[in-house]
Chain A
Amino acid sequence: MKYVLLFCGTAQDQAAFDALNPDDLRARYSEVGQWFARNRNRLGPSSQLQGPETATTVRFRVEGKPVVHDGLFLEAKEIVGGYCEVNVADLDEALEMAKSWPGGGTVEIRPVVDQR
C-alpha cells in the first residue's frame, strides 16, 4: 500500500528547530539522512518544505474570486515541514517507519487513494 508521511510540528517545535545551533543542526540532518538511507527501498518522492514564513495561501470563497494572502492557513495548529511517500505492506510497516523518524514533532500517516 502507498502512504504519505507528513512531518508536522507546532509553532514551538518550529521555533526550537530554528534555534538549533549549527552543530546540533548538522547532527539532526545527519540522523534524518540516515533514516532516509535506511528506508530508501520503500521511499517514493520526498521533500522538506521551506519554512512557514514562505507560505502563501489561496482561499476559495462561496462566491467571488479566490483570496490570496501571506502565510499559513490561519486555523492550522500544526505546520507541515515535509513529506515523503512510502510503499509498504500495511499500516504496521508505515507505523514502524514513522516511529523511527528522528525529526521529532508529529508524523501523520495518510493512505493514498488507490486510482485503479
Chain B
Amino acid sequence: MREDDDRRGEAFVGAAPAPEQTVAAVASGFRDEAGRVTAALTRRFGDYCLADDATQDALLAALERWPKDGIPERPGGWLTTVATRRALNRVNRDARYEGKLAFLGRPIETGGDDRLRLIFTCCHPALARDAQVALTLRSVCGFTTTEIARAFLASEAAVAQRIVRAKRKIRQAGIPYRVPAGRELGDRLEEVLAVLYLMFNEGHLSTGHAPPFRRNLSEEALWLAELVSRLLPADPEPIGLVALMKLHLARADARFDASGQMVLLQDQDRSLWRRDLTSDAIRLIERAAAAGEPGPYQIEAAIAACHAEAASFINTDWPQIVALYDMLIQLAPSPVAQMNRAIALRYVEGPRRALDELNSLEADLTGYHLFHAARGEMLIELGEVELARAARERALRLSRNAAERHLMFRRLFESMS
C-alpha cells in the first residue's frame, strides 16, 4: 500500500503545528483512541492479535504523518480507517483468514465500549506479569514498543520479544477475548487491578528522574483504573484503586526534594500535598464504601487518606491505621500488610512491640528491602546501633530502585557516623 492512501478521505485541520505540541497531542490522542480502535477491529475480524498489529501500524503511521500534516479532525476515525486497511492487507496475505473474509462486509459498530474485553484479555492470568503490563500499555493506551521500552528502561528488542511471545500465546493457547462472568469475574478483576497498580508504582517510584518526554506510567495507570471503574460501575474495588492512586499522586511533589532525593513521609512538606486530589479521593472512598463490600484497595485507600488528612506525622490517627491494617490482613492476608501494620504499631505501642512483630515476619520477608529498613528504624530507636547498621546494610543491598538506594545509603551513612 502506498503511504498516500492513509490521507484519503480524512480532513486535516489547518497548518502543521509545532512538533513538540504535536507529539504530546498525538500521544494523548492515542490514549483515548487506540483501545477503541483495537477493540473495534477485534470485534470485526475476530482476532485480537491481528487487530493489535494493525492498530500499532496505524499509530506508527500517525506518528510519522501527523507532525507533518497536522492532527486530523477526528483522530479516532483516521486511526480506524488506516488500521482497518492495514488489517485487510494482512488478511489478504494470510491464507488462515480465507474463510473469514465474508464477515468483513459488516460495518464497524461504534456503540458500546469494548475496551473492557481488551483489558481482560491483556491481563489474562495465563500471561506473565511483565507481558500483561506491556500488552495493556500497547493495546489499551496506544504505547509504541519504543515507549514501553523507555518507560521500563528496557531494550526495545526485549520488549518487542515479550510482546511477540505473549501474542503467540494468546493465539495458540486459546486465550479468549471476553469479560469473564459470574464468580470468575472477581478473581480476574483482582488480576487486572494488580497489573494497573504495578504499572502505577513503576511510574511513581521513578518520577524523581523521569525525563519530560517520557509518558508517565502513573498517569496511564490512573486513566486505566478510571476507565475500569466507569465500565464496571457495580464493583467498588476499581473505585478504591482510583482513590488510592490519587492519594499517592497528591503527595508526589513532596516525595522528592530539589536535588531529586526521595523524602520519607515523616519528613515531607505537607503544604506541597495536593488538597484537590485528596478531597477527590475521599469522595471516591465514600462512594465505594456505600456498596458495603470492603476490599483491599478500598482499605489501602482509607489508610492513605488517614495520612493525607493528618496535620503532621505525629498527629496521624495511628490507632485507626492499625485497625484498618487489621481489616486488610483479614481480607487479604500478606506478610507485607503485616509489616506495615507493625510499622504503624510503633506509634501506638512503641518500638519494642513493633520490632517483635517485625521479627516474627523474618522468614517471609528476609528478601524484602523495606523489611530490613523498617527493622533498622526500630533498632535505632531502641539504641541498638550495631544491629540497626546491619539491617540498613541489608536494606541497601536488596533495594534496586535508584532513588530508594540513595535514601538507604544516606540512612546507613547516618548510622555509621
Contact = CB atoms under 8 A, between A and B. Distances in A.
A111 interface: yes
Nearest to A90: B176
A109 B184 CA distance: 18
Contacts of A94: 174
B180 A92 contact: yes
Interface band, chain B: 10 to 19
B126 interface: yes
A3 B184 CA distance: 20
The secondary-structure label for the interface of chain B is loop
Q: How large is the interface on A (under 10, 10 to 19, 20 to 34, 35 or more residues)?
A: 10 to 19
Closest 10 CB pairs of A and B: A90-B176, A1-B174, A90-B174, A91-B174, A91-B175, A111-B173, A91-B173, A92-B176, A111-B172, A111-B174
A109 B124 CA distance: 15
Main secondary structure of the interface of A (DSSP, over half): mixed
A111 B176 CA distance: 13
A96 B173 CA distance: 14
Contacts of A91: 124, 126, 173-176
Interface of B: 124, 126, 172-176, 178, 180, 184
A37 interface: no
A94 B180 CA distance: 14
Contacts of A90: 174-176
Nearest to A3: B174
A92 B173 CA distance: 10
Contacts of B176: 89-92
Interface of A: 1, 3, 89-92, 94-96, 109, 111
Contacts of A92: 175-176, 178, 180, 184
A40 to B, nearest CB: 21
A111 B170 CA distance: 11
Nearest to A111: B173
Contacts of B126: 91, 95
A111 B174 CA distance: 8
Nearest to A94: B174
A50 B282 CA distance: 60
A67 B315 CA distance: 74
A1 B173 CA distance: 9
A95 B125 CA distance: 10
Contacts of B174: 1, 3, 89-91, 94, 111
A107 to B, nearest CB: 13
A92 B184 CA distance: 9
Contacts of B175: 90-92
A90 B120 CA distance: 14
